[in-house]
Structure 1
Amino acid sequence: MAQTVEPKRRRGKLTLVLVIFQIIFLVLFGIFVEYGEDSDAKAEQNNLEHGNGGADAMDNRLGYYYPMFQDVHVMIFIGFGFLMTFLKRYGFGSVGYNFLLAAFVIQWATLMQGFLHLHHGKIQVGVETMLTSDFAAAAVLISFGALLGKVSHLQLIILGFVEIIFFSVNEYVGAGYFQTADVGGSMFVHVFGAYFGLAASRVLNKKSWEGSSKEGSVYHSDLFAMIGTVFLWMFWPSFNSALAPGDDQHRAVINTYYALASCCVTTFAVSAMVSKENKLDMVHIQNSTLAGGVAVGTCANMMIQPWGAMVIGVVAGTLSVVGYKWISPFLLSKVHLHDTCGVNNLHGMPGILAAIAGAIAAATAETSNYGYGLYEVFPARAPLVNSTALDTILDDFTVDAGSGRTAGMQAGFQLVALVITLAIAIISGMLTGLLLKIPILDQLTPDELYDDNNFWEVPEEDTHYVKVQVDDQMKGSMDELNGATNKTEKDTKM
C-alpha cells in the first residue's frame, strides 16, 4: 500500500517548494543585489580611456580570480557530485541532487553573506562573491555526504537553506570578528559542513539506515566515484588558494600540491597495510587521498615550507584511512552515528588537523621568516593605528592597522575559532535534524533508502538492477533447496 500512496502524497510538492524559493530569491536580488565596481558599466574606473576605450581588461579582478573560480566550480559540480556516485542504486540522486543543491545554495549564500557585508544598503557582487558562494555550497555538499541516500529532496532543500544561515554567521564571526586565518576554508567550510551533517544524521538516525544491501557499491559505481576523486585532487590547489593575494596564492598552490601528493602515496601504503590480505580498499583511495588538501587548507598560505606541507599530507592520509577502517565502525556501533560517505574521515578530522596545524604555524610566524608579508597573512598582527611601529612599516609596505596581536595570541584565536565552529555546527545541525523530522518533508521509508527508483525516472533497461534482483531470488531459492536437502538427509538417517 505504501508504494502507491506515498507518490500521490508527494506529488507537486518539490515543484511548489522550489518555485516559492526561486521567487523569493528573485525578489531579494531585485531589491538588494547590484554589480560591484569592477562589473558596473557606470563605475568611474570603467569609464577611463584605455587604448580602445573603456576599462583596462588586464586591470580587472575577473582576470585575476576567474581561472581559480573555474577550477572551484568544477570541484563543486563534478568533483563532489561524482565522488558520491559509489552507491550502486543512487547514482542519479548523487549527481542530480548535488547539482540542484549547489545551484540553490549559491543564490542563497550570495544573499546571506551579502546581508552581513552591505554597502550602502546593497549587496555588491563580483567574481569574489561567486567564489565565496561556491565555498558555501561546498559546506552544504559535505553535509549532504553524511546524509547521502537517507533523506528526501525536500529535506535536502531545507537543510541547505538552514545551514547557509548558520554557516554565514559562523564565518562572519570567525573570519571577521576573530580575524582567523583560514585561507582554504578547512575550519569554516570542511569542519563546519562535516559536523553539521553528522549532527543532523545522528538526530535523524533510524535502525533501517544500517545494514541495507543497497548501501554498498559495485565495480562501475566505484569507477564513477573515482572521476570525482581525480577532479577534486587535481583542482584542490585552486580551492585552497583562490582568495589569496600574490605570493600568498603562489605559496598556497605549492603547499597544497605537495600535501596532496604525499597524502596520496601514504593512503595507498596504509590502505594495503591495514588489509588482512594486503589489498587496496577503493573507499580509501576515493576519499583518503584527498585528506591532505583539507588538512593543509588553514595554513596553505603560511610559511610552513614544502616539507611541512608533505608532513601534513602524510598525517592526514594516515588519519583518514584509520578513520574509515576503525573510527567509523566504532561510531556506528557505539554512538549510532551513520555517515554514508565518511565525511568525518575526509573533512571532519582532517579539518581539525588543519586548524591545529594552522595554530602551530601562527604561533611560529614572525617578521624574521615572513617579512612585512606577515601582516598580509595575519592582518590582526599589524600594529595599532597611529603607532610608531605602523608608521615605520608604512614607509616600505602598505598595510592596514591591526590589533597588535602577538604570535601566541593569534594562535589562541585560531583555536578559539575551531571550538566555536564545532559548537555552532553541532548545535545547529542537531536543530536542523529535528526540523527535518517534520512529516510534511517526506522522510524516506526503509524501501526508499539508497535507491533512485522512487524519485527518478530510471531506464527500464537497468540490467544491473535486474541482475541484483535475480541474484537475490536465486540465493533465496538455493537457501530453500539447501534447507530441504538437509531435512531430507536428516530424515533418511533417522
Structure 2
Amino acid sequence: MAWRRGKLTAILLIFEVVFIVLFGILVVYDDQANATATQNSLTPAQGGADADNNVLRAYYPMFQDVHVMMFIGFGFLMTFLKKYGFGSVGFNFLVAAFVLQWATLMSGFLHLHHGKIVVDITTLLTSDFAAAAVLISMGAVLGKVSHIQLIIMAFVEIIFFSINEWVGLTFFKAVDVGGSMFVHAFGAYFGLAVARVLYREDMVGHSKEGSNYHSDIFAMIGTVFLWLFWPSFNAALAPGDDQHRAVINTYFSLAACAVVTFAISSAVEKDGKVNMVHVQNATLAGGVAIGTSADMMVHPWGALLIGSIAAVLSVVGYSYITPFMADKLKIHDTCGVNNLHGMPGVLAGIIGAIVAAVASPAQYGNSVYQIFPARAPIENSTELATIQAAFPAIEAGNGRSAGLQAGFQMAALIVSVLVALVTGALTGLLLRLPIWDQPEKDSMYEDEDYWEIPEEEAVDMNGSLEGVGHKKPDSRARTESDTNNEQDTKV
C-alpha cells in the first residue's frame, strides 16, 4: 500500500510539474483576457473592448452547463456500482481535472500562434469536450482498472483524440458541432478497445458489479443533469441561428428519446416493468444521435424521429448487444458506453452525412457556407465575391458539392472509429504492464483498496450489510445467463 501511495503521488506531481512548466513557457491569454492588450485600456467609444459584449459573456453560460456535465453528470451517472461510489465520482473528478490541462496543451500544440498557445473561454470549452471523450472511455473500464491506469489512459488518449479531431476538422473539414463523431464515438470505441485488451474472465459476472436501490438513485442524478444540459453541449460552439437551432433540435430529440426509452424498456423486459439501467442511459442517447446534425435543418419532426431511433438502438443494445459482446467478443463494457455513446455516435455521423448531402442554398440561404465552410466557393472567385457582398462573414472554401461534403463526413466518421480502435488497443497493451497496478479480482468494483472508507460503511463493504431496499443484478455489462440466474433479494 505504501508503494501504491508513492506511485500515485509521484505520477500526479510529475505530470503537474510538467504542466506548470509548459504552461509557463507556451500558454498566454487571448487579447480579450490580457490586461496588457491596448483594447483593454480604452473605452468602447475610443475603440476599446466592451465589457458587456464580449466573448466571455457569449460563451460562459453554456460553458458552465458543459462543465457541470463533466463533473456532476458523468460522475454521478457512474455511481450505479453499489461499492464503487467514491471511485465513480472521485476518479471522474481527478481524470477530468487532469485532462482539462493536458487537452489545453495538446490542442494548443496543433494550433500554435507565433509559437504560443493562446487561451480564452472557447479553449476551456474544447478542453471540456476532450474530457468528455476520456470520461466515456473510463465508463468502459470502470471498476476494473486502478487510478494510476486511468491517468495513464487519459494521458495517452488525449494525444490521439487531439490528432484525430485535428485531422477531421482540418483535412476532412467535417462538421460535428455536438462532437458525436470526434468525442462520443471516439471515446466509446477507444474505451472498448482498451477493455478488450484488458479482458479477464473474472471481470464478468462479478459479485460486486451490480447496483442497489440507492446507488441507482444516485446514478439518476447524473442522468438528469446530463439530460437537462445536453442542449448546451451540442450548441455551445455554434454561431447565431445555428446555435438556436442546435438547442431546439437537441431539446426535442432528448424529449422523444426519453419517452421511447420507457416504451421499449417495458417491451423488452419479460414482466413488462421498466429497467432503470435503460432510463439512466438510453434516455440520453438522443443527445448523442442529434449531435453531428444539431445545427442543421433537420426540422423539429426530424429531431423527434432521431431521438426515437436512438432510444430503440440504445435499449436494444443494453438488452441484447452488451451480453453478446461480453460472451462472444470478450468485450466487457461496465457502463455500456457502446449503447449510449458508440452506436448513437455512429448513427449521428451517418445522419450528419445524409443531411449534408441534401443541404442547399435554397434551404439554408448563404448560411449553408457557414455551416459547411468547405462548400464555400474558392478564393478570388466571382461566386465568392457575390456571396460575400450579401454575407461578409463567409470565407473562401474548397468549392465542394453537397455530395462531396457528405462523403468527407462519412470518411471522418470511419477514420475516427478506426483510430479509436487501434490506439485504444495499443493503450490497453500499455496498461497491462504490472507497474500500473491493475486490480485483482477481489479489488474490482470496490472502493476499499483506493479510498479511506468511513468506519460504518466499511462494515457494509465487508459483507455484513448489502444495502437497503431492492437489490438487482446490473445489466450494463453482464452476460444474459448471469442476469437470468441471479435472484432478487430484499434486505
Query: Offset of 1:11 from its aligned partner?
Result: 3.1
Matches within 5 A, 1:128-277: 128-277=122-271
Aligned length: 466
Work out the percentage of aligned pairs sharing the same amino acid: 65
Q: Which residue of 1 aligns with 2:353?
A: 359
Q: Is 1:70–2:70 an aligned residue pair?
A: no
Q: Which residue of 1 aligns with 2:323?
A: 329
CA gap 1:14/1:471 in 2 versus in 1, 3 angstroms: closer
Q: Is 1:30–2:41 an aligned residue pair?
A: no
Q: Could you say what secondary structure the match of 1:178 adopts?
A: coil
Give the residue type in structure 2 aligned to 1:439. P
Q: Which residue of 2 aligns with 1:91?
A: 85
2:8 corresponds to which of 10, 14, 17: 14
Distance in 1, matches of 2:465 and 2:307, equals 44
Deviations 1:135-157 (A, max 9, x none): 00000000000000000000000
CA gap 1:131/1:471 in 2 versus in 1, 3 angstroms: closer
2:369 corresponds to which of 371, 375, 390: 375
CA gap 1:466/1:384 in 2 versus in 1, 3 angstroms: closer
Cα RMSD after superposing both structures: 1.4
Distance in 2, matches of 1:220 and 1:142, equals 23
The normalised TM-score by structure 1 is 0.93
Query: Offset of 1:56 from its aligned partner?
Result: 1.0
CA gap 1:69/1:471 in 2 versus in 1, 3 angstroms: closer
Q: Please say which of residues 261-270 and 386-395 is displaced more in the overlay.
A: 386-395
Give the residue type in structure 2 aligned to 1:404. G
Q: Could you say what secondary structure the match of 2:377 adopts?
A: coil
The normalised TM-score by structure 2 is 0.93
Q: Which residue of 2 aligns with 1:482?
A: none
Q: Could you say what secondary structure the match of 1:124 adopts?
A: strand
Query: Offset of 1:235 from its aligned partner?
Result: 0.1
Q: Could you say what secondary structure the match of 2:36 adopts?
A: coil
Q: Is 1:385–2:379 an aligned residue pair?
A: yes
Q: Could you say what secondary structure the match of 1:34 adopts?
A: strand
Native 8 Å contact 2:83 2:461 kept in 1:
no
Q: Which residue of 2 aligns with 1:492?
A: none
Query: Offset of 1:58 from its aligned partner?
Result: 2.2
Q: Which residue of 2 aligns with 1:3?
A: none
Query: Offset of 1:57 from its aligned partner?
Result: 1.2
Query: Offset of 1:53 from its aligned partner?
Result: 10
Q: Which residue of 2 aligns with 1:318?
A: 312
Native 8 Å contact 2:242 2:296 kept in 1:
yes
Q: Which residue of 1 aligns with 2:402?
A: 407
Native 8 Å contact 2:459 2:465 kept in 1:
no
CA gap 1:456/1:307 in 2 versus in 1, 3 angstroms: same
* Gap runs ≥5 in structure 2: 468-491
Distance in 2, matches of 1:470 and 1:46, equals 61
Query: Offset of 1:42 from its aligned partner?
Result: 2.0
Give the residue type in structure 1 aligned to 2:293. C
Give the residue type in structure 2 aligned to 1:436. L
Deviations 1:192-217 (A, max 9, x none): 00000000000000111011110000
Q: Is 1:417–2:412 an aligned residue pair?
A: yes
2:108 corresponds to which of 114, 122, 147: 114
Give the residue type in structure 1 aligned to 2:374. A
Distance in 2, matches of 1:471 and 1:126, equals 48
CA gap 1:427/1:234 in 2 versus in 1, 3 angstroms: same
Q: Could you say what secondary structure the match of 1:312 adopts?
A: helix
Q: Which residue of 1 aligns with 2:454?
A: 459
2:290 corresponds to which of 280, 289, 296: 296
Query: Offset of 1:90 from its aligned partner?
Result: 0.1
Distance in 1, matches of 2:64 and 2:461, equals 40
Query: Offset of 1:464 from its aligned partner?
Result: 7.5
Native 8 Å contact 2:38 2:48 kept in 1:
no
Distance in 2, matches of 1:471 and 1:168, equals 43
Query: Offset of 1:52 from its aligned partner?
Result: 11
Native 8 Å contact 2:26 2:116 kept in 1:
yes
1:80 corresponds to which of 74, 83, 93: 74
* Gap runs ≥5 in structure 1: 1-6, 473-494
Query: Offset of 1:31 from its aligned partner?
Result: 0.3
Give the residue type in structure 1 aligned to 2:89. V
Query: Offset of 1:167 from its aligned partner?
Result: 0.2
Q: Is 1:280–2:274 an aligned residue pair?
A: yes
